Amino acid sequence: MTDIEAVIFSEAEIAAAIHRMAAAIARDYLGKTVVLLGVLKGALFVTADLARALESVSADVVVQLDFLAVSSYGNAHRSSGEVRLVQDTSHSIEGKHVLIVEDIVDNGLTLKYLMNLLSGRAPASLRAAVLLDKPYNRRVEVPVAYIGLTCPDEFVVGYGLDYQERYRTLPYVAKLRSEIFTPIGETVAT
């Protein structure tokens, strides 16, 4: 793909990270039911692959899936800092072991918002799993129990991550060529 400057994490590296996370989660939730709460749209692939990996590494963990959606990026490649709930969970999480599944944690604002929102709903436990940890611009500290990979301080796309709703379906994580970015506040002619 001509828009890609470099592949940051290959399909194999992502699969290995997902498997490592699943093994750690299986150990911690042995004999329990865990709700994987995927954050849409970015964590769709991470959540699906993590659920399948959990099923394959342990028959002693029951996996349930639910999703919610938040917005904080808009069309910019930097977070606006304002997080809002766009779609809530389908089921109550009261008394359940909940694992928020995120594609990436960058400034920490989205995950902090979700932890605060969901902790008020009385889950039995509440933790987070992220495929990519990008700690360089963290504005708030957030506890992340399971981290797949540490992302370089680059804007990345693929495996659920997008730029203006493009590149989500790439099977790897990549850096875009800098000339692809539209300056914040401008729109791309289509």
Dist CA 13 CA 147 (whole Å): 13
Quick check: 45 and 66 in contact, CB under 8 A? Answer: no
Annotation says 103 is catalytic: no
Quick check: 121 and 7 in contact, CB under 8 A? Answer: no
Dist CA 47 CA 112 (whole Å): 19
- Pairs from 72-78 (Cβ < 8 Å, separation ≥ 24): 72/109, 72/110, 75/164, 75/182, 75/187, 76/184, 77/155, 77/163, 77/181, 77/184, 78/184
Q: 49, 103, 106, 133: which is the annotated catalytic residue? A: 106
Structure tokens at 1: 């793909």
Kindly report the three-state secondary structure assignment for every residue of 5-42: EEEEECHHHHHHHHHHHHHHHHHHCCCCEEEEEEEECC
Q: Mind telling me the catalytic residues?
A: 106
